Structure 1
Amino acid sequence: MTRAGLVLLHTSPVHVPVFDALRDRHHPGAVLHHLVEPELLERARTEGPRAVAPALLAVLASAPAAAGPAPVLVTCSTIGATAESLAPELGVPVLRVDRPMAAAAVRTGARIAVLAALESTLAPTAELLAEEAEAGERRVSVRTHLVAGAWERFEAGDTGGYLARVAAAADAVTGADVIVLAQASMAGAAGLTTSPVPVLSSPAPGLAAGLRLTSASR
């Protein structure tokens, strides 16, 4: 029988090896079940994140069945809030991967710069940071930056070029206490930056938090 673990919902297949590698490095033995649904992001970009709620609910409701009910980690920042709102209907915890990163960002400093390669990610990330700041009773200012030309590199499979553009954009940020890389796909850029400002990415803290949910739900 398949062991229940953590269900990860991705909107790009590139995330699967990233999270598997993090599991192998930091959480050996953890069970991950990957779902890849690119059309959810495509629709959210054109119709808005709430438009994908019915399809998202259908995907998540059926996915854990083979392994038993399991917590869900959603690695797409654009649809993360919509996914979290479905937790009561699903009956399992649902966590957006960037929430732990956002919580860390508001603890790090008041001036937060957000970098994203997709415009559809900017507003959800800014809203998340405001939510975490309110929860932590902190006052923050958030500036968002769209990394020009980066998403085109990502879609073309030019991972190196994509990460280089993100890193260059991070290095160009001024007047910030912390830089947030809004999309999970940007994580590799954190190691390429030369900025003295802390640069936060979501996969590692998000996976750790998701796996804590699996322990709590046993």
Structure 2
Amino acid sequence: MKTLAVIHTTPVTVQTMKDLHQKIRPDVRLINLLDDSLLADVMQAGSPTPEVEQRMRSYLQNARLAGADGVMCACSSVGEVVEKLRPDAEVPFWRVDEPMAREAARLGQKIGVIATVSTTLEPTARLVQRQGDIEVQKVLVEGAYAALMTGNSDQHDLLVSRALRDLLEQVDVVVLAQASMARVVATLNPPPDKPVLSSPESGLRAALEAL
């Protein structure tokens, strides 16, 4: 049986990956590694630090010791660390958002990237921009992340939905830089008439199928 390890920086994505794993390829063994201080440290510093990079390297090694045939990082804020460590990894090391970025470039030339955290917005936008001759429009939803962290999910969803509707009017396709925003799409009425992409399912599916 093949084994995929997923590195998480928030508990929010752990259950999401478990549910998707059962839906897509339950015959592959799944290991979840969680360090919820990684994202906080990246946010405080403004970008991944050498210490964050070293911890990511250790999680990659631990995943390999646990029998992983491949490793995926579920957090876009440290996605560029994945790319830096990838050449020396003993097993494939994937970013969860890479398949989403490729799909966005296939669907349109004007691509909107929306996030509630700047340290997630910027690396996601850079990843999308590298997909080809495209125009990227970035939107940071101010106040939404703070609302979510203080338990005010309704305020978070309201702020995100307003920003998302505005962005959809200006681009061909929208990329959600954070999985936590995906639930807002389902509440939009009327539903969006343009593609809105999220990374968990496409990223996990690509990694599982690669194994």
Normalising by structure 1, what TM-score? 0.87
How many pairs does the alignment contain?
206
Query: Please, which runs of 5 or more residues in structure 1 have no aligned partner?
Result: 134-138
Q: Which residue number in structure 2 is paired with residue 122 of structure 1?
A: 121
Deviation larger for 21-30 or 104-113 = 21-30
Residue 59 in 1 paired to residue 53 in 2? no
**Cα deviations by residue, 1:109-162 (Å, 9 ceiling, x for unpaired):** 1111110010111210111012222xxxxx211010011221113323444543
Q: Which residue number in structure 1 is paired with residue 145 of structure 2?
A: 151
Normalising by structure 2, what TM-score? 0.89
Contact 2:63 2:71 in 1 (8 A): no
Task: Label 1:145 to 1:204 Cα distance change in 2 as closer, same or farther (>3 A).
Answer: same
Task: Label 1:33 to 1:157 Cα distance change in 2 as closer, same or farther (>3 A).
Answer: farther
Task: Label 1:157 to 1:19 Cα distance change in 2 as closer, same or farther (>3 A).
Answer: farther
- How far, CA to CA, are the matches of 2:61 and 2:148 in structure 1? 30
Q: What residue identity is the alignment partner of 1:122?
A: L
Q: What residue identity is the alignment partner of 1:43?
A: D
Residue 176 in 1 paired to residue 175 in 2? no
- How far, CA to CA, are the matches of 2:195 and 2:43 in structure 1? 29
Q: Which residue number in structure 2 is paired with residue 39 of structure 1?
A: 37
Task: Label 1:15 to 1:122 Cα distance change in 2 as closer, same or farther (>3 A).
Answer: same
Q: What residue identity is the alignment partner of 2:53?
A: A
Contact 1:50 1:82 in 2 (8 A): no
**Cα deviations by residue, 1:154-181 (Å, 9 ceiling, x for unpaired):** 3234445434432332112222000110
- How far, CA to CA, are the matches of 1:39 and 1:188 in structure 2? 24
Q: What residue identity is the alignment partner of 1:175?
A: Q
Identity %: 35
Task: Label 1:33 to 1:159 Cα distance change in 2 as closer, same or farther (>3 A).
Answer: farther
Contact 1:190 1:200 in 2 (8 A): no
1:4 is displaced (CA, Å) by 4.5
Task: Label 1:93 to 1:202 Cα distance change in 2 as closer, same or farther (>3 A).
Answer: same
Deviation larger for 196-205 or 185-194 = 185-194
Contact 1:187 1:202 in 2 (8 A): no
Runs of 4+ in 1 over 6 A off after TM superposition: none
- How far, CA to CA, are the matches of 1:34 and 1:162 in structure 2? 27
Q: Secondary structure at the match of 1:114?
A: strand
Give the aligned CA root-mean-square deviation in angstroms: 1.8
Q: Which residue number in structure 2 is paired with residue 94 of structure 1?
A: 93
- How far, CA to CA, are the matches of 1:50 and 1:212 in structure 2? 32
Contact 2:3 2:28 in 1 (8 A): yes
Q: What residue identity is the alignment partner of 2:74?
A: T
Contact 2:114 2:140 in 1 (8 A): yes
Residue 205 in 1 paired to residue 202 in 2? yes
- How far, CA to CA, are the matches of 1:209 and 1:50 in structure 2? 28
- How far, CA to CA, are the matches of 2:207 and 2:158 in structure 1? 29
Q: Which residue number in structure 2 is paired with residue 30 of structure 1?
A: 28
- How far, CA to CA, are the matches of 1:25 and 1:87 in structure 2? 28
1:97 is displaced (CA, Å) by 0.7
